[in-house]
Amino acid sequence: MRKLEITLTEEQYQHIQEEIKYYNRVHLSEGAFGGYELCLNVSVPDIFGSTLEMKMANTIDLGEVEWKFVNLKIGSGDGRN
């Protein structure tokens, strides 16, 4: 099994958290339900950096991120024995 790991700066993380809080507050007050989408844009070949977008009512460009696939080890404390 593999895990996709995306590394965020503290600013990117805080931006995502604030958008989620705002989105939840607005939708709960309106009695509406929805969600959001995280979109990792990767150029091939990897000449340009990869970028992350957060899509809700609007698309928010979170900027460049680093990402990688990581192998999960069974029984390594991840809850899967």
pLDDT score recorded for residue 45: 73
Q: How far apart are the first and last CA of the chain?
A: 13
Please state, in angstroms and as integers, the Cα–Cα distance from residue 29 to each residue in 23, 34, 55, following that order.
10, 13, 20
Question: How is the chain split into domains, by residue range?
Answer: 2-71
Please state, in angstroms and as integers, the Cα–Cα distance from residue 7 to each residue in 13, 24, 33, 57, 66, following that order.
9, 24, 28, 24, 5
Q: What is the pLDDT along the chain (81 residues), one digit of tens a residue?
A: 899 999 999 999 999 999 999 888 887 777 777 788 999 999 887 788 899 999 987 899 999 999 999 998 876 555 554
E strands of the chain, at which residues? 2-7, 37-41, 50-55, 59-71
pTM: predicted TM-score of the whole model, two decimal places: 0.75
pLDDT score recorded for residue 81: 44
